[in-house]
Amino acid sequence: MSAGLFEAGFGPGIPYLLSFFYLRHELGLRIGVFLSAAPLATTFAGALAYGITSGHSRLANWRLLFLVEGLPTILMAAVAYFFLPVSPDKARFLTKEEAMVAKARGVRQVGDVERIGGIVWRDIGATLLDPKAWFTAFMYFSTNVGFSSLPVFLPTILEDMGFSSINAQGLTAPPFFLSFLVTIFSVYVADKTQQRGFTIMLMSTIGFVGYVLLAACETVGVRYFGVFLAAAGIFPSIANILPWVLNNQGSDTRRGTGIAILNIIGQCGPLLGTNIFPKEEAPRYLKGMWVSAAFTLFTGFLALCLRTLLVWENKKLDRTYGTKLDIQAGQGVDPSGVTTDVGEENYGPSFRYVL
């Protein structure tokens, strides 16, 4: 309970904090690097757990595992408290020139406004009524069904394919390492192209095919290949959904509220995902595979719907303010006819939704 309570703000807090430091076309890669730690850690989790628990400690194996995995986190919390800046202009490790560049980047992001120390309550209400925030929240829920269950149950699934316990632990590593690489690559491509919707649709389709192979096939080699596809689809989808939330809310308060909605809804996904692989379903676990496949495909469908909505919203903004080319040429105006100079990532003439 305590671990869950104190960890709850960490996952959403880091991407939100990163949005204060990086521009929208840089943000996805940074969030992707953060989230890629999940499949990378899972790559070594089996070997680490086996190494820790195979000895003859005076402590119970589960206690020793919690200590070895938990103590570094506690130590790094103290380091982060003293060295992690809350905003670029407060970063003590920057030179004066670098601090000026950081401040200029902040003005480019949101205009010349104070970003720390206040909440705009009307923006919270506006985000709660914004369908875009709910689209990404339910995408996160759907992806979390597989994101939560695959690392937990994969060793058991592989054992039921006929592998020994030790071999099953070892065979979990390659799919998750592939997922780590695909996560980094996918967010990099999405940043460069500013096409997160298509990226999520592609990743979801790959994950869906993987789960279908696991559910429909009996050949061990084909099912193990399905594990690669499932892992390579789920983790990158999560890594692209989070920056999509931050890219498409036009104030710091709205970005924070969007991330909160995402996690409140999305973290209900593991409640389902961790309960769809009962022992009596072994060795095929058909219910778990088909449910995971359905929710993975549903993520792609929601991404398509959201992207369609964003295209429509961008066309409305073009009609109101002129196209981005018009604005860059100094011809963009607000509806009252007054030229406006605000940040690119807050609502205004320059703001466009990332597709």
Mean pLDDT across 325-345: 60
pLDDT for 339:
45
Binned at pLDDT 50, 70 and 90, residue 347 comes out as: confident
CB 37 within 8 Å of CB 244: no
Tell me what the mean pLDDT of segment 51-60 comes to. Answer: 69
Q: Which of 11-20, 47-56, 64-73 has the highest mean pLDDT?
A: 11-20
Q: Is the pLDDT of residue 343 over 80?
A: no
Residue 329 has pLDDT above 70, yes or no: no
- As a 3-state breakdown, the chain gives helix, strand, coil percent values, each rounded to 5, of 75, 0, 25
What is the reported pLDDT for 338? 44
SS3 262: helix
Confidence at residue 116, expressed as pLDDT on a 0 to 100 scale: 64
Record the tokens describing residue 169, joined without a space: 């632990």
**Res. 152 pLDDT band, cuts 50 70 90:** confident
Q: With CA atoms as reference, report the closest residue to 135 among 216, 284, 249.
A: 249
- Please, which pLDDT band fits residue 117 given cuts at 50, 70 and 90? low
